Structure 1
Amino acid sequence: MSSLSVEALGAAADAVEAHLPTLVEDKVASRLFAQDPTLWGPEAESESAIRLSWTGLHRTSRPLVGEISALREELTSRGVHRIALCGMGGSSLAPEVICATAGVDLVVVDSSDPDMVRACVHDDLAGTAVVVSSKSGSTVETDSQRRIFIQAFQDAGIDPTERIIIVTDPGSAMDTQSRADGYRVINADPNVGGRYSALTAFGLVPSGLAGIDVGALLDEAEVVADLLAEDDPANPGLRLGAAMAGTEPLRDKLILTDRGTPIVGFADWAEQLIAESTGKEGTGVLPVVVGRAGAAPAVAGAPDATVVALTAEDDEETASEQVPSQINVAGTLGAQLLLWEVATAVAGRLLGINPFDQPDVESAKSAARDLMDNPSGGTEDALGTDGAVEIRTAGTALELGEASTSLEGSVDALLAQLDPDRGYLAVMVYLDRLAHADLESVRGTLETRLGRPVTFGWGPRFLHSTGQFHKGGPETGIYLQVTGAPVQDVPVPGKEFTLGTFIAAQAAGDAQVLADKGRPVLRLHLTEQEAGLAQLREVLGRS
């Protein structure tokens, strides 16, 4: 019995009808599960040849189940009752969803914000074990978090090799050095990309150590694997992929709504998978996470939008919603992880792009590294100051003029650049996402005000997600960046930089790459966080 349901309505149903016969005739599903690298054209072949093992993880990840269980017992015997995860993007988003759905605590340290990292490190350190996850073994955020935890354990008289578990690809720099230093290392499948790694060691190790039954999660995926591999019109992966990327003209805003799904935070995981996989070569599908509140009516009904209703199984209420294009999706967590991976790979084929690379993520990282080497390059003078907020732009796509001395005026000037038919606003906040989670509420207010999609991303987390779409997707976005002076900076042991200087370079580097591509960027820096946030909430919350 299938534990998946995909129902397409309106324009999404038309897309399924238009593309499904060809997808079936071309045997896309069976070729995908046979790991055929030719599905996305010659230019993508070399990359896809080493990125398709995710189709068989419901079988190949089984040996991890016993290993994780034994390790959890060992850690528990040492007094560990709190698991922290250091990782970015695909290394952290899947475990976050898996644990939240089961109501299991997991501390996700996916930031270089000094205040957030410091709080995560020093809360109940004596009862904490840490999973450090990096596919490449060279992710600067993750390496910095690792160094800070090591120092904290040492300062507390705790042997860090007994509390830190490394998850990385075999042969990475982190793999080699960690083994030499005496740390326990668990290797992930190297033929799986980060955003497709939910059912590899990256998703399963931190989840299992936190208390999740990861064997049951693999069972849920296995139940639907044969269905998703069938060249059949009923294949929900083919249907979802066609509905996502096959509308004509392309509805490139995918509005992800929570309509009773028991899976907590699933849209955040899907956001990274879809945006980073499809947002390139001037095309792509932008996921817009709107949660239970739903999208503004003008957005949900827009000609460039498809609404995805994430529902509970056997929930028929969403079928009555009247929007021009809608997809209702239900299923267990393990089944949906595999479903959306298949659908995104299918969407890549329909869009004519390589769903396994992320060229503009690398460009932002490179710009940040350059600014770390030359910090003065990212510290241009503020155009103006309004209370506790310094106002800057990046590039020439946004000219503020007299508005540069006013927070409200500068925001209005940015919003005036929005394309009323195809545009979107991206709000990008480089602050402590745990301490300031309520700031996300401005997304809905701005969306209602503009009548256009608004995304909200915490930096640097979103750089591994929608950051790819911002720079590689269509030139329809405007960008509001918020940074802030940390309450207390944190040095990175063994490095010449602090987390404060690093996150500032990440923000400046991202703005620079956006500006180089002609995107309008407004940069707001809070010189004092509490006062600056009060100003920001007032201006952005204005209807």
Structure 2
Amino acid sequence: MGAIERLVEADAVERLLARDASLFTDDVDTRIAVGQRLGWLDLASKAPARFPLLANLASALREEGATDLLLLGMGGSSLAPLVMSRIIGNAAGYPRLHVLDTTSPIAVSKLLQTLDPAGVFVIVASKSGTTIEPLSLYAIVRGWLDDALGRPAAGRRCIVITDPGSPLEKLRQKEVMRLTLSAPPTVGGRYSALTLFGLAPAALTGIDVEALVARASVMEAACKSSPEQNPGAQLAAWIADGHAEGRDKLTIVASPALRPFGLWVEQLIAESLGKDGKGVVPVVETALPDAAAYGPDRLVAVVRLAADGSLAEWATSARAGHDVFELVLEDGLDLGAEFVRWEFATALAGFLLGVNPFDEPNVAEAKAATNDILSGSASAPRACCDLDGTWITFAGALAQPEPLPASSIDACRRWLASARPGDYFALLAYVPDDAAYREPLDHAAAALRDATGMPVCVEIGPRYLHSTGQLHKGGPDTGVFLLVTARDRTDFLIPGQRFTLAALHRAQAEGDLVTLARHGRRAMRLDLPSGGAETIAALADDLVTATRT
């Protein structure tokens, strides 16, 4: 029986819309938890009630001279606004959005050096109100604003988005910040694009949220139809049928202007479906690939603009050897519709794959390991050798080789050799998310893909911990992980904490390595002597060389 027939037989769409948690589990306690995560089903129809608030706030910020809006968040609280900003951009006369979803001291330092505090307003976003990254960044940024503007004026520049009554809301009151924008507690972070987590940063930077939500509303209505005509169910069935036939690498190939959309999709898919030893691996292409190099484990989702004839031709040729699902957008505002389509599809795919798409059990595990590293109660696996300042560690199911590698290139060859048919490679790089760092890594990933035929994912840490990290630990044992860290001296004190930002950044990487090893994953760490872009470029060159010899 195909996936569409299974959805029909189970009345899956009707039960989802009725918030029937038994669709996903027979366990009574889990049903209660699932029932508390289904508030996203009608967000588009409810969103217009918040438009007057957002319009008034946007007008006030412009009148007060806002030139830059700094969003401090992580995962579901920041990815949708990051994607909308990169695809649609701010309107003329509105502040530019800068998203800090990193603990990299280099990235924080570089951004603060480019901003004039006189025009900066800040959003601190966290659903739980306890997320360590935005809270640490807020402490740093608030001190920076206090020094420049004075504490009362700095407080009026800070806005909070969180669940009602969270610790972050209490901190807002204590720190005398401007206001709290409350998000519905029944919506999980990765399903929150059409809550104030997504809509507020968009509106404050001049994105036409009314048009965005209008298109989302059309898709929301379409996703209430029977599976045969339901765009969300159709996408879910395609994913599930492919997964059943061994095509579990969901590859996103997008028009250049739409490529940032993959950041949001990969979190939704990986964190929702990657658990219980199952999962769909999202692979986001950063350039138009040669589909002939793809293996038989690929599902190819083409997300293109209607005017992108080149990608339309590529999709036609790719169908000769692969299963292709094509989505055509008129412009960036169609993101509203795609948020809805993919959320419905992911929830229904969870039913079809037999997993709960609303929890993330292994994310908390990595957070706990980070805290243990910071407290000194745990340590990362030890390096086996020092090669010209690069410390090499083999962990988990990737045993320390004998003899030890003679160079970084040799270590990369050993890592590559651990792959099996059906695997994927993941480069987990704790570096700033800017072109000077990303482009060499993307180039190395393309070379690795072309040399092996295997999917390669480039993930920026610690962002991926709140995204694909769940899949890495909870999904199938098909990942081969290269963790890249650096011993850089750039650092910030975090007011009120016993650790610095660099210590947190490093502990997050080491906590992830501990967790990967605990799950028996194949992992290697390269700890570089410095965090400069030139050092990352040299590492990327070593990876390319390793694929050729």
TM over 0.5: yes
> Deviation at 1:432?
1.4
- 1:487-537 deviation digits (Å, cap 9, x = unpaired): 411111111111111111111110111111111111001112346324302
Say whether the 8 Å CA contact 2:384–2:400 is kept in structure 1.
Answer: no
Q: What is the alpha-carbon distance in structure 2 between the residues aligned to residue 219 and residue 147 of structure 1?
A: 37
The aligned counterpart of 2:191 is 196
Gaps of 5+ in 2: 91-95
Say whether the 8 Å CA contact 1:295–1:444 is kept in structure 2.
Answer: no
> Deviation at 1:63?
2.4
- Calculate the aligned-residue CA RMSD, in Å: 1.8
Q: What does 1:44-83 align with in structure 2 at a 5 Å threshold? A: 44-83=30-69
- 1:227-262 deviation digits (Å, cap 9, x = unpaired): 11112412111110011122332311111101x375
> Deviation at 1:280?
0.3
DSSP-derived class of the 1:391 partner: strand
Q: What is the alpha-carbon distance in structure 2 between the residues aligned to residue 288 and residue 132 of structure 1?
A: 29
The aligned counterpart of 2:327 is 329
> Deviation at 1:152?
0.3
The aligned counterpart of 2:15 is 31
- 1:46-94 deviation digits (Å, cap 9, x = unpaired): 2210111111111222222221121121111221111111111111110
The aligned counterpart of 1:445 is 447
Say whether the 8 Å CA contact 1:24–1:232 is kept in structure 2.
Answer: yes
Say whether the 8 Å CA contact 2:259–2:286 is kept in structure 1.
Answer: no
- 1:196-254 deviation digits (Å, cap 9, x = unpaired): 00000111111111221212111111012111111241211111001112233231111
Residue number among 20, 24, 31 corresponding to 1:40 in the alignment = 24
Q: What is the alpha-carbon distance in structure 1 between the residues aligned to residue 469 and residue 122 of structure 2?
A: 27
Kindly indicate whether residue 110 of structure 2 is the aligned counterpart of residue 119 of structure 1.
yes
Say whether the 8 Å CA contact 2:89–2:207 is kept in structure 1.
Answer: no
- 1:273-319 deviation digits (Å, cap 9, x = unpaired): 000000000011000001332255332xx222111111224875424
TM-score, structure 2 length as denominator? 0.91
Higher RCO structure (Cα 8 Å, ≥6 apart) = 1
Q: What is the alpha-carbon distance in structure 2 between the residues aligned to residue 409 and residue 320 of structure 1?
A: 37
Say whether the 8 Å CA contact 1:81–1:127 is kept in structure 2.
Answer: yes
Say whether the 8 Å CA contact 1:296–1:448 is kept in structure 2.
Answer: no
The aligned counterpart of 1:414 is 415
Say whether the 8 Å CA contact 1:28–1:231 is kept in structure 2.
Answer: no
Residue number among 209, 212, 218 corresponding to 1:214 in the alignment = 209
Q: What amino acid does structure 2 have at the position aligned with 1:305?
A: R
The aligned counterpart of 2:93 is none
- 1:413-455 deviation digits (Å, cap 9, x = unpaired): 1111101x21111100001122522233221111112211111
Residue number among 493, 504, 507 corresponding to 1:505 in the alignment = 507
Percent identity of equivalent pairs = 36
Say whether the 8 Å CA contact 1:256–1:291 is kept in structure 2.
Answer: no
Q: What does 1:325-474 align with in structure 2 at a 5 Å threshold? A: 325-331=323-329, 332-374=334-376, 377-378=379-380, 381-395=382-396, 397-419=398-420, 421-434=421-434, 435-438=436-439, 439-474=441-476
Kindly indicate whether residue 234 of structure 2 is the aligned counterpart of residue 223 of structure 1.
no
TM-score, structure 1 length as denominator? 0.92
> Deviation at 1:177?
2.3
Q: What is the alpha-carbon distance in structure 2 between the residues aligned to residue 262 and residue 501 of structure 1?
A: 36
DSSP-derived class of the 2:228 partner: coil
Say whether the 8 Å CA contact 2:105–2:490 is kept in structure 1.
Answer: yes
Q: What amino acid does structure 1 have at the position aligned with 2:249?
A: K
Task: Say if 1:76 and 1:289 are closer, same or farther in 2 by CA, change over 3 A.
Answer: same
Q: What is the alpha-carbon distance in structure 2 between the residues aligned to residue 293 and residue 211 of structure 1?
A: 31
Kindly indicate whether residue 218 of structure 2 is the aligned counterpart of residue 241 of structure 1.
no
Task: Say if 1:284 and 1:132 are closer, same or farther in 2 by CA, change over 3 A.
Answer: same
Task: Say if 1:381 and 1:180 are closer, same or farther in 2 by CA, change over 3 A.
Answer: closer
The aligned counterpart of 2:167 is 173
The aligned counterpart of 2:302 is 309
Q: What is the alpha-carbon distance in structure 2 between the residues aligned to residue 67 and residue 89 of structure 1?
A: 25
